[in-house]
Each structure stands twice: as C-alpha cells, then as structure tokens.
Structure 1
C-alpha cells in the first residue's frame, strides 16, 4: 500500500488521526520516533525557523528543500502545509504539486483565505491535473472563515464544504474553532473528514473523536512550546550564571 492510501485511510478510522507539525528534519524524526502515524508540516513554524514571516514569505524553493530533507529522513506519510499554493498561476501551481508528489508527499493543505472563488479555481485545477496525470494527493481544504470573521461562519463553512467536496477535496480543515458545540454542528453537516487544531479549549483527543473529528493538528503550537522551553532554559542559564539547567 502506498503512502497516499495509508494517509487517506487514516482519515477514515474510528479514532481521530493525531498529527504533530514539524518544521525541520529533527522535529520530524522526533515525531516519528514517538509513534505518530504521519507527519504534518507547519508553514508558520518553517518560516519562523528560517527568519521569515508566515504567509508565503518564504521562497518556495526553500520550503521545498525543507520538505525534501524531512521526507528523505523519515518513513511515514508526510503532509505539507502549502498555504495558498505559493502562486496564482495555475501552471506554476501544477509544477508545485508535481514537485511535492515527486518528493513522495502524501498530502497537502490548501487555504481559501483569498476567497471562495479563487480557491475553487485552484482546487479544481489541481484535482483535474491529478486526474489527467493519474496521480494521487490528499487535499485538505483549509477554510479561514472563522479567523476572517465572515458573517454566519458556521453556515458559510458548511456551504463551502459542499463545494470543496464537489471540486475534489479529500478533507476539510476548519481553523479558528473554539468550542465543541460548533465542532459537532459542522461535523454532522459535512461529508468530508473534518480537521481541527487542538487549541487549549479543544485539547482532549478523546472528546474531539467523540465529536466526530477525523484529524487533529497542532499547527505551530508544538514549535512555540518547544522554543518556549529553550527560551526559558537559556534565560535561566544567563540569570543564574550556571549550566545546571542543561543537566
């Protein structure tokens, strides 16, 4: 069974797929060694680790290099946060998709924060390209409705989910959710496997599984937590004039 199929099947099991988000080879290897079934990347974490702001400020070639190194150094399915595709040119978008497939990536996230129409154009173009070239890639359609504070967000997400499924999306990633009631309402109304970020208010994997969530991500939270600990250690070393914090 290829890694795309393994990754696809992980979204159609009783237990939610729990994903930790990596930003470099070492973090990805730690995630794999801990027993996770797959690895996701965080665009924000990768960008920040290289001195860029989030939002496609990192050049695509630099992102591609990180993805190549992660995939070459791990053995489980990898899904990549591709933001808006790093282009508005559909031919270039196809090239980006092909480069991900050539590396061995099993899936991508694609964001709709440019608006529903532009997103659908990109999504349909990708799915048509995959069909024409007889290739597979799990497309997790990320909707930013809640963080963009669009009117009637729950209803809008449900409406977009139907359109995204018809256009060939494999999953629906809803960011900005803060309570289980809204999660349940969305899950019950859409046909795609739903992905949420495990923020503090939604941190119980069992509870989210009970809500019907099929995928739980950590986004840049793991990156922030890890470097928060490093920050505390180095400040303590400087303050105490001692290396004891390292041992």
Structure 2
C-alpha cells in the first residue's frame, strides 16, 4: 500500500503544463516492461490495444475480469505508476462504477481514464450525469486512501472531423472540464483535438492539466509542450505499429515456404 501511495503521489506530480508526461501506451505485462526499460515514467494502458491483444473489439467488449487480471499482471511486472483506461467505467450506474474502480485500485492502479462517450448508443453522457460518474470514481479513491488520478476524457472532438473544430467545440470542452474538475477530476483528456490554436486556448483556460492524443495530424511533441500540454498519449499507435511489423514479417517468412 505504501508503494502504491507513493506511486500515486508521483503520478500527480508528473502532470506539468509545458513539460508534458509522454505515455507510450501498453497493452500487457510484456509491453509494459519494454516501455519501462526504454525510460518510461508511467505505464498507461489503452483500451483499444488491450482489447485487440485479447481478440476483442473496443467498447467494453473485453470482459471486465480480463481487464482486471491484465492490469494485475502489468502492475506486478513493473516498478512504475500504472494508470488504466476503463472506457466509460464498465457500468450503467455510479454505484457499479465505484465498485469497479475499487477493484482497479486493488489490482495496483493509481490512475484511471474515464470517458463521457456512451458505449452502447451514440452520443455523450450529459454533463450532469457524467459528473455523477466521476464523483463515484473519486469516492473509490477516497475510500482506499489512494489519491487516484482521474483523467476525465471527453469525446467532443471525436464527434466531428478535425477540420471542423471551432469555437463551439472549445466552449463545450471547457464547460465539461470545469464541471469534471468540480466533481474531482485531475486532468482533461481531449483525443481528436489537433488544432494548435484550440489546444493553446484550452491549456490556458482549463483549470485541469490537458492531455492530448498523438495522431498523424497532431503538432510535434515539442510544439505540444510549448502550447502548454501536460500529458501526451500515443493511444493504439504502438500496438498498431508492432502488429503491422509482425504481419510483414509473417508475410515474408511464409512466402519462403512457397519457393
């Protein structure tokens, strides 16, 4: 418990605007160990990669028991803080989400991503409803005396193409960031946002550290740092890169048997 408490405190300290925490997302114990060996400061899972590595689609299709067992193996295999993507919380109610997060903490995590995207239907949870879900996550941390880092993800910028992002999207994101902060969140995660001006303004106006996800259209890591970003995630890209390399290696190897 003491080590988990120390890791939780360290994880909070690593979120600094302009000096972003870079997270190359892992999906199992082996990939977590590679990232630790490469100099990673934190191990962060990505739900898409974890699901794919187990043969499932994303969207809470991976049974929660497998999510937990995978998390436990990761936590036991590294000496770094571990944060886990729990999608929308794997539950229809705040009470179930709180119970799930208690299990996540028991398995060694010191941080969670929880998103406002509905899993089984289109659209986002209304702000008021998502606030209750984030409050439940916070209560789980309080009950265990672990200062769990709650990274509140909003999918506002995933709902429309990046070229169409504008003032209305920024205002909606800021409204949610403020509400989520009041509920106990410690960071705001805005995957899909690539526009430099909007990133800079979000970083300036949000009371929460800003987390962006790397994409082909994203500014460079150095530029993101200068814009005030506090956390940069790679999402499914590491897994996709490695799976493509595996596919190409398999194609070359299997072609030899046809000679």
Q: TM-score band (shorter)?
A: over 0.9
- The offset of 1:132, in angstroms, is 4.8
Find the counterpart in structure 2 of residue 148 from structure 1: 159
Distance 2:145 2:249 in 1: 50
Matched position secondary structure for 1:213: coil
Higher alpha-carbon deviation: 199-208 or 186-195: 199-208
Segments of structure 2 that go 5 or more residues without pairing to the other structure are: 119-124
Distance 2:210 2:95 in 1: 29
- The offset of 1:110, in angstroms, is 0.3
Q: 1:12-33 CA distances to partner (integer Å, 9 max, x unpaired)? A: 3652100011111110000000
Matches within 5 A, 1:115-154: 115=125, 116-149=127-160, 152-154=168-170
Answer whether contact 2:41 2:80 (CA < 8 A) is retained: yes
The CA RMSD measured in Å over matched residues stands at 1.8
Matches within 5 A, 1:34-49: 34-49=38-53
Matched position secondary structure for 1:186: helix
Residue 56 to residue 100, structure 1, CA distance change in 2 (3 Å) = same
Q: Give the structure-2-normalised TM-score.
A: 0.88
Find the counterpart in structure 1 of residue 22 from structure 2: 18
Q: 1:61-116 CA distances to partner (integer Å, 9 max, x unpaired)? A: 01101000000101101100010110113332222111111122110000011312
Distance 1:31 1:235 in 2: 27
Q: Give the structure-1-normalised TM-score.
A: 0.92
Instruction: List 4+ stretches of structure 1 deviating above 4 A.
Output: none
Distance 2:178 2:64 in 1: 30
Find the counterpart in structure 2 of residue 210 from structure 1: 226
Matching residue within 81, 90, 98 for 1:86: 90
Answer whether contact 2:16 2:209 (CA < 8 A) is retained: yes
Aligned length: 242
Matching residue within 84, 97, 104 for 1:100: 104
